[in-house]
Structure 1
Amino acid sequence: MQEKTSPGTDPSDSGAKGNGDGTAEQAPVRPVIPAAAAKRANASVIGMIVALVVSIAAFLPIILMNPLPKSDGFRPDIDVSAVARNASDVAGFTPATPDTGNTFTSNYARWESGSGSGVPTWEVGYLTPNESFIGLVQTRQPNPTWLVQQTKSAPVTGTRTAGGQEWVLRDTGKGEKSMVLNYRGTTVVLTGSAQLDEFAELGAAVVKSMEANPAVTVSPSASPARKVSPWLPT
């Protein structure tokens, strides 16, 4: 006779499970944060948030009372007349300093000795009211190659009157254009992507400045060559 026993739970199995090979696996232990520690952690986070809000509230009125200035970008303050006075001693002529009031802004003015091109030049860059650019180049020693380089090989497309003088208009057809004037012993080239009315406005100011300065004396031997040069306006 065998005594039958009903299956029961083995107390030794509490907290462990067998994996089939006789070894027991421990149940994962979940850390429990005491209520007091959790309360302290929450209090720290809330304190940081409150401090941040207080800091922003303290500095916000100062920022609002001192708004940042509106700016269209960096615009250097170039004293074109002062640079021209320094350049006149080596230029052999008085560089043009067109007065455009507050409509045009100069972003550079310099004298180039012409070490690379062989043509010394007076150069000024202008930003127009429409945020376009026109570069002014003036020299007393132009040549055909130099003019082609300055006008980006643009063909002659007509003339444009500015300041009572007739300028030769050269247009690349790609937005870049040039106006060329041979006047009072020097040659002036205006080149850029601006509109023709802005070219005309700057050109008129250039002519006015040139007429206020002494004319450059051209030697008799150089005069005939200038008269027959096909690349210069007459």
Structure 2
Amino acid sequence: MIKVERLTKKFGDNLAVDDVSFTAKPGSVTGFLGPNGAGKSTTLRCIVGLTRPDSGTSSVLGRDYRTIANPGVQVGVLLDSSAMHPGRSGFETLMLSALTIGASKARVQQMLDLVKLDKYAARKRVKAYSLGMRQRLGIALALLGSPEVLILDEPANGLDPMGIAWMRGLLRNFADNGGTVLLSSHLLHEVEQIADQLVLINNGQIKTAGPKAQLLAGGNLESLFLNMAGEGVY
């Protein structure tokens, strides 16, 4: 479970996250949605300890993420696939993480197979990867430690339609087996297909949150999103 309570973060005069509270539950996919600059990425960074909030709290599996011993075996995180070292191969990137968290070489190969990076791709340096390949490697890194929770920011970015369908099935299966998925994405159609819960944020504030079936009764996610963002439906 992920629990966020009254989280607030300012950068200078910019109130990026304003009293944000929500919960992502086990066995479900929670779609975390909002326009660019709405506060999604800052919230996710606060949850995983990369940004310190000014006030409020967040917990993952009942603990502050920063206090979790060896978090990679409990929480899988993909916030920015471009942050991987460009000079390492895909295999080296995974092996280094495996050594850090105590995963086996066999697990590395399992993850390469899962994300469909073959032997040739695994030997290539990350700087030669397409965006879609980096996203697949990022998912492999997130899943390497067999975590209970996934926190993902735009994981389908750069994937082709087959890759997006693959990602959808992967995340649905993870949640159906009891995992917690917190998914930030601009692909509203995909989120509408996979999410169980929705959290919509704009201008740093939660505008609406709840079960997808309840929030979309008689409508669709695009209409809900555009109305929340103040754009209306054209």
TM-score category of the 2 structures, normalised to the smaller one: under 0.3
Q: Normalising by the residue count of structure 2, what TM-score does the alignment of the two structures yield?
A: 0.23
Q: In proportion to residue count, which structure has more helix?
A: 2
Q: Which gives a bigger RCO, structure 1 or 2 (Cα 8 Å, sep 6+)?
A: 2
